[in-house]
Chain A
Amino acid sequence: MMTLFIGAQYFALACFALTMLFAMIRMLKGPTAQDRVLALDVLYLSVALTLLVLGIRFGHDVYFEVALLIVFVGFVSTIATAKFLMRGEVIE
């Protein structure tokens, strides 16, 4: 059972790394600016997921707080960039 547990952690980490890779390809390639912002949002989300799995792996609480901070920073940055794309300025 321990083997399954370790294997599941590595599998999840590999999946999140692949997701980050795909998001990065989309961010570099993306034809429009909104595609890049969407890819950045996915990148933030997969980093938060990776940190949660690392928290289970090492049994420590610090990873949870980092994941919470990254979720909030990703939310604010995506909103600010979307406002900028819509009007050309962040605060109207």
Chain B
Amino acid sequence: MVDDAPAWLLFIVSLLLILGGVLALTGGVGLLRLSNFYQRTHAPSLPATLGIGCVLIASMLFFSVTSGRFVLHELLITMAVLLSAPVTAMMLNRAAIERDRRQYREDAPVPPGRPIKASPTGERNE
């Protein structure tokens, strides 16, 4: 199956796989190295969109050309990941904000409409 694949297909699929690997690794390094939960929550969006997109396009191209027909069932994973990633991020961040406010942590975001920090003179410091 792989032996009779044309060279341009192997080249494009290799490029997409390398790109996907680098993007996923960037997300992993960000998850490890960023200092705060609210910074770290940005890291997984890179493999969840571009990384998995590159690998799925590579898979679709490879199977479509080698089997001689359109193989599009990878679109199911695309839809699942693209729909679930924002919902997951939103739920997790709401839970994190709730917990941080409950524990009065320093880096918890203030509720909207409140002053950031009360100034000594009592003025509202927006």
A residues in contact (CB < 8 Å) with B: 1-2, 4-5, 7-9, 11-16, 18-23, 25-26, 32-35, 37-39, 41-42, 45-46, 48-49, 52-53, 55-56, 59, 64, 67-68, 71-72, 74-75, 78-79, 82-83, 85-86
Task: Given A34-B96, A46-B47, A82-B91, verify A15-B25 contact (CB < 8 Å).
Answer: yes
- A22: which of B22, B32, B37, B52 is its contact (CB, 8 Å)? B32
Chain B residues touching A, majority SS: helix
User: B44 contacts which chain A residues (CB < 8 A)?
Assistant: 38, 41-42, 45
Question: When the two chains form the complex, which single residue of B31, B47, B55 contacts A38, counting CB atoms closer than 8 Å?
Answer: B31
Q: Which residues of B contact A35 (CB under 8 A)?
A: 37, 40
| Contacts A15-B22, A26-B31, A59-B1 given; does A75 touch B88 at CB 8 Å | yes
* In the complex, number of A-B residue pairs with CB atoms less than 8 Å apart: 161
Contact check, B17 vs A9: say whether CB atoms are below 8 A apart. Answer: yes
B96 touches A32 (CB 8 A): yes
Given known contacts A34-B96, A38-B92, A68-B76, A12 and B59 CB-to-CB distance under 8 angstroms: no
**Are B24 and A16 interface neighbours, CB within 8 A?**
yes
In the complex, how many residues of chain B place their beta carbon closer than 8 angstroms to a beta carbon of chain A?
A: 52
Contacts of A42 in B (CB 8 A): 27-28, 31, 43-44, 47
Contact between B87 and A79, CB atoms less than 8 A apart: yes
Cα–Cα, bound, A79→B90 (Å) = 10
CA distance A8 to B80 in the complex (A): 26
A46→B24 contact, CB < 8 A: yes
- List B contacts of A68 (CB < 8 A): 76-77, 80
Given contact pairs A5-B2, A45-B44, a sample of 5 additional A-B residue pairs in the complex whose CB atoms are under 8 Å apart: A12-B20, A22-B29, A34-B95, A53-B55, A86-B94
When distances are taken between beta carbons in the complex, the residues of chain A under 8 Å from B81 are: 45, 48, 71
What are the interface flags for B45-89 relative to A under an 8 Å C-beta threshold, 1 for contact and 0 otherwise? 001100110011011001100100000011011001100100110
- B88 near A78 with CB under 8 A, answer yes
Asked if B99 is an interface residue, CB under 8 A from chain A, the answer is yes
